[in-house]
Amino acid sequence: MFSLIIVPIFILIAVVAAFAPQHGQSGAMQAGLGVGMAAVFAVLAPIMYGAMGFIFGALGGLIYNLVARWTGGIAFEVE
How confident is the model over 18-75, as pLDDT tens digits? Answer: 777 666 656 666 667 777 888 888 888 888 889 999 999 999 999 999 999 999 878 8
> What pLDDT score does 20 carry?
72
Number of H helices, E strands in the chain: 2, 0
**Distance between the two ends of the chain, CA-based, in angstroms?**
34
Selected residue with higher pLDDT from 77 and 57? 57
Q: Domain residue spans in the chain?
A: 2-71
Whole-prediction pTM value? 0.60
